[in-house]
Chain A
Amino acid sequence: MTAPSTNTAKPATGIPALLKTAFINALIALVLFSLMIGIRTEAGSSGQLTYWTRFGDLASIVAAVFGGSIVIELLRQWIGPTGAEKLVPPAVQSGISFIGRYLAPALLIFTLLVPVIFYNQRYILDLAILVLTYVMLGWGLNVVVGLAGLLDLGYVAFYAVGAYSYGLLATNFGWSFWICLPLAGILAAFWGVLLGFPVLRLRGDYLAIVTLAFGEIIRLVIINWQDLTGGPNGVSGIPRPTFFGIPLDNSDDGLAARLGIEYSPTHRIVFLFYLILALALLTNWATIRLRRLPIGRAWEALREDEVACRALGINTTTTKLTAFATGAMFGGFAGAFFATRQGFISPESFTFQESALVLAIVVLGGMGSQLGVALSALAMIGGFELFRGLEGYRMLVFGMAMVLIMIWRPRGLIGHRAPTVYLTKAKAISSDLVKEGHG
């Protein structure tokens, strides 16, 4: 604005527009924060209202917003999705594609070795189990949201059905984990179909709201059906998993005693780690396999164009129901694992926040991408723990990181789509062409 003649090389949308955007953002911040931060109110000693002003803090916040919006705008222009290719030299690009090809196997090998490397670090093992649980949930939801394009905000309902199925069957009838695991999946899939029927005609926002409500209904039923579920007190004393009938405890017929090694509580953690890894890999294998089968292609076609699907003779009703049921089944497996790991479940664990978190993992990872979902689960759950040292600022840092990723990669970490069948060469399909589905 001050010296436009020196900036003639810049496009018209250069510095003046940048400053204008920053100024508007700062103004909005000023209006918002003038009451939130500028004036502090408190109840005085005798109940009267006392207040004092903090204009210094307000000024610094507004200045931060002004500077921040300039930085974000510059980032958007320089390393945004359109400019990304130009800035990265070819050598680095080929390096990235090399990494891309071997990233998944390398990650898998590393994951397999986690209990060996971190055997003595209980905290890391627990965190790894948590991350893997969310990887599995993300992969399960990916079938519904990423492949079939049906926005499901109530995925935690199936997680809860799985957890309570195992918890109740095990505590009431004493059934073993390995019998209950498939039952939990089947029951969750059944609930998926039940949810599917009424919402089939809904699209977009309406579908999202109904699935959201369904998630809450399941939670409220669990809270209020006290005779069966114990209500808010939850179900406790859920049996720990056994190594195909051999308990992993300190007793004489425990696994450690039978193998003749010294008992350690870490054995159980390591076992749980490999259990959830196996379940997650099963989910991944099944999803990859399903994508290449007619049903998987129909899911993706449904996401792309539902009318065209019907014109080709595809029964969109059953196709949607199978997507719901498949996603729900994996959620049920994860729920059964959650119950056996915790030994205690209560409705507290199945709030909307969990659904939102799993959905965020899928969206951030790139809808439909298995590797992307795994990476984003690692980043979201692991990263959240990483910022624990920041205490109060954790949410702030986390939120900013998400905003930056969404500016940089609006279609998720891995946005492109790999074809399911090819004649000569599989070429990745740009995310610009792939539809997000209608709901």
Chain B
Amino acid sequence: MSGDKILSVDRLAMRFGGIVAVQDLSFAAERKKITALIGPNGAGKTTVFNCITGFYKPSGGAIRLTHDGGRTIALERLNDFRIAKQAKVARTFQNIRLFPGMTALENLMVAQHNALMRASGFTFLGLIGAPGYRDAEKRAIDLATDWLKRVNLLDRADDAAGNFAYGDQRRLEIARAMCTEPALLCLDEPAAGLNARESAALSELLLSIRDELGTSILLIEHDMSVVMEISDHIVVMDHGVKIAEGTPREVRDDPKVIAAYLGADEEEAAAVMEGGS
């Protein structure tokens, strides 16, 4: 794989006690491209995500994030909130994690916490109503409004996020992650539970994030129509190891991928082939 890599995962391993969830996994994600991580249920995709975003500490291996300016950050050494704050990696969750009792706008304001904290002089300037903070808050509201427009939720800005339909919650969560102005956006099954029309809208949104904002995207997805349509590069995992990678076309025709998805394991497939020859 050539080109400008934003994320490179090198020999990543994750063990929970005796259970090996991820083993010797290496792949890279290119800058301003959409990289998909696919595989059957239990393949270890979400574990890889949790390692990248700092919710798990990897048992072994290295995860390197290279920013635009060439600054490289070792993600496996940072803990969760610092990865979002310093390395600028944002994520969404498989089971949506919005702030249900807060409005859509508030959700997007919380996402801009670190920038606003600095602007409010770590609360002290904000408490006395300093004009600098008021300007910063105005800009934050503008950014949030902009994202609400992009995900088509502007008219529901002042409604509680918990009242939103499932598809709207998915889009709001992506908008919230983008409000942190990330370098790498990690999406854990963004199309899960969406109907065909919503999936198409999601694909469009993700492509616009890549093309207009130049944000690199790493996503886990089961919906093959979404994956094949938008991905630039696909990594296929099964039982914690990488079994294939390449462009959507290459992956689609790979017999190992087909075997993994049809439920037969490699030895069986090999045995079948040997028996046949």
Contact = CB atoms under 8 A, between A and B. Distances in A.
A314 interface: yes
B168 interface: no
Contacts of B123: 290, 293-295, 322
Interface stretch (B68-76, B92-100, B190-198, B202-210): B92-100
Interface string B112-125: 11101100100100
Contacts of A1: none
Contacts of A289: 126-127
Interface in B174-202: 176-177, 180
A289 B130 CA distance: 13
Contacts of B10: none
Interface stretch (B21-29, B30-38, B103-111, B264-272): B103-111
Contacts of A300: 99, 101-102, 106
B102 A419 contact: yes
Contact of B100 (A293, A298, A309, A433): A433
Contacts of A312: 81, 84, 90, 110-111, 113, 176-177, 180
Contacts of A309: 81, 110
Nearest to B92: A311
A219 B93 CA distance: 45
Interface string A287-304: 001100111011011011
A63 B195 CA distance: 58
A420 B98 contact: no
Contacts of B99: 300-301, 304-305, 308
Contact of B53 (A298, A311, A425): A311
Contacts of A421: 103, 105-106, 109, 137, 141
Interface size range of chain B in the complex: 35 or more
A318 to B, nearest CB: 10
A423 B162 contact: no
Interface in A390-439: 417, 419-427, 429-430, 433-435
B106 A297 contact: yes
B110 A314 contact: yes
A423 B113 contact: no
Contacts of B141: 421, 423
Given A311-B53, A423-B145, A294 B113 contact: yes
Contacts of A293: 116, 120, 123, 126-127
Interface string A315-335: 110000010000000000000
B105 to A, nearest CB: 6
Given A297-B110, A312-B90, A312-B180, A423 B157 contact: yes
B163 interface: yes
A426 B105 CA distance: 11
Interface in A173-188: none
A310 interface: yes
Nearest to A436: B101
- Secondary structure at the B interface, as helix, strand, loop or mixed, is helix
Contact of A304 (B84, B85, B102): B102
Contact of B85 (A313, A423, A429, A430): A313
B223 interface: no
Contact of B113 (A313, A322, A417, A422): A313
A289 to B, nearest CB: 6
B232 interface: no
A75 interface: no
B127 A294 contact: no
Interface residues of A, number: 39
A286 B127 contact: yes
A307 interface: yes
A316 to B, nearest CB: 7
Contact of A429 (B101, B110, B111, B157): B101
A297 to B, nearest CB: 5
B117 A311 contact: no
B189 to A, nearest CB: 15
A180 to B, nearest CB: 23
A312 B158 CA distance: 21
B160 A315 contact: no
A196 B162 CA distance: 30
Nearest to A432: B162
A314 B93 CA distance: 16
Given A290-B127, A424-B157, A435 B101 contact: yes
Nearest to A312: B111
A293 B109 CA distance: 10
Given A293-B126, A310-B81, A312-B110, A417 B180 contact: no
B109 A297 contact: yes
A305 B97 contact: yes
Interface in B124-183: 126-127, 137, 141, 145, 154, 157-160, 162-163, 176-177, 180
17 contacts: A289-B127, A294-B116, A295-B120, A297-B109, A300-B101, A304-B99, A304-B100, A309-B81, A309-B110, A312-B84, A312-B113, A313-B82, A313-B84, A313-B85, A433-B100, A433-B163, A435-B100
Interface of B: 53, 55, 80-85, 90-91, 93, 97-103, 105-106, 109-114, 116-117, 120, 123, 126-127, 137, 141, 145, 154, 157-160, 162-163, 176-177, 180
The 6 lowest CB-CB distance pairs between A and B, nearest first, are: A313-B84, A434-B101, A313-B85, A304-B99, A433-B162, A294-B116
